[in-house]
A = this chain, B = another copy of it.
Amino acid sequence: MKLEGLAQRTRELKPSAVREILKITQLPEVISFAGGMPAPELFPVADVAQICTEILAGEIGRSALQYAVTEGFLPLREWVCGHIASFAGFRPTSEQVLITTGSQQALDLMARAFVDPGDTVLAENPAYFGAIQAFRAAETKLVGVASDAQGMLPGALEEAIQSACTPVKLLYLVPNFQNPTGATMTMERRREIAHVAARFDLPIFEDDPYGRLRFSGEEIPAICSLPEAGTATYLGTSSKILAPGLRVAWLVVRDPSLFEKIVPLKQASDLHTSAFTQQIVHGFVSDTTRFGSHLSALIAAYRERRDAMLAALGDHMPEGCTWTRPDGGMFLWVTLPESIDATHLLQHARAHKIAFVPGEPFWLDAPKRNTLRLNFSHTPAAKTGVGIARLAALIRGCS
């Protein structure tokens, strides 16, 4: 087949530097701070096995294997409402909850629902790579808005809205422990940003994959809890609090006309999310005691890993390097001396048996090539020191 036969619109989507990184991570003895994976040794495999047995032996067992409604498994949608109410400062109704095949599908559906080719979507700069991929697949003009340690800058947001060359359709935000920077928006900043968006009638899309993984500092209500945020859309997932291999997330669509538009899009995309994995997630999270103790164990382990990484960075990193100190989540963000390109570093990473993700693909514009992302959730704390020492040696070698 000649490539000319294929659609123009999706030509830009290319496999990323991720391939090179994957190759490195598969080598023996490599310590990887790349990827964004939960710690597999903390997956509750025995609980999941028990839940599977219960589902398949029970009355509803056959419904778990059958076609199901597009909106999702109702008991799970109902659980989501109470779950969100318990920390986010707002309570959705189950009619507002759409179960999606992981957060990635929700990003894709939102992009397709809002964006005509060339339309503008605003996001933090740098931004989550999966969101960048979904919006680019919908031919979005993604514009990065400058941020500091407290999150997106309201003045920069206003300027970006006013200077956009095409209609601005959506403001995409990851307010808690952002991927890739680990930054968390303060309450005041959330209010300011929501206020600017409201003034320009700009819908907000709040993505909160990591919010439950807070190790330090105080819980901050979701942007969706603010009156200024109107009918902002909220995205949560089971991937970081249970298991990403199940592919179950929840999109809270509080605008009825958007919900009505997005359900047929979901139906056209994959009919519905696996009824079986939805029932597994529900089986796990609806046992409050079990879910609570699992979450506590995750938080304790990830806190230890973050602390180990922060300590090792302090011990080993060469002068001129700085890094963020996230209160939760899975990532921190390193800025190298300006002369060092992290993408070039990767070429020597293989020899140093170390993997990370260079910052470049996360930037929407004006890439700071001297940045990189480190994941701390996947590597046991005992290995972190050695890994960071290797990274420091790699950086020194390229200085």
Using a CB–CB cutoff of 8 Å, the interface residues on chain A facing chain B are 1-3, 5-11, 13-15, 35-38, 40-41, 43, 45-46, 48-49, 52-53, 56-57, 61-68, 101-102, 104-105, 108, 112-117, 119, 130, 133-134, 136-137, 169, 201, 203, 230-231, 239, 243-247, 255, 257-258, 260-261, 263-265, 267-277, 280
Contacts and interface: CB of A to CB of B under 8 A. Distances in A.
Contact of A263 (B15, B102, B134, B137): B15
Given A203-B1, A258-B6, A40 B62 contact: yes
A245 B260 CA distance: 23
Chain B CB within 10 Å, residue with most, of A3, A45, A117: A45
Given A104-B269, A265-B10, A56 B65 contact: no
Nearest to A134: B268
A41 B40 CA distance: 35
A115 B7 contact: yes
Nearest to A107: B268
A9 B115 CA distance: 8
A284 to B, nearest CB: 11
A265 B6 CA distance: 13
A275 B245 CA distance: 5
A128 to B, nearest CB: 12
Nearest to A49: B56
A5 B169 contact: yes
B13 A261 contact: yes
A56 B46 contact: yes
Contact of A245 (B133, B201, B268, B276): B276
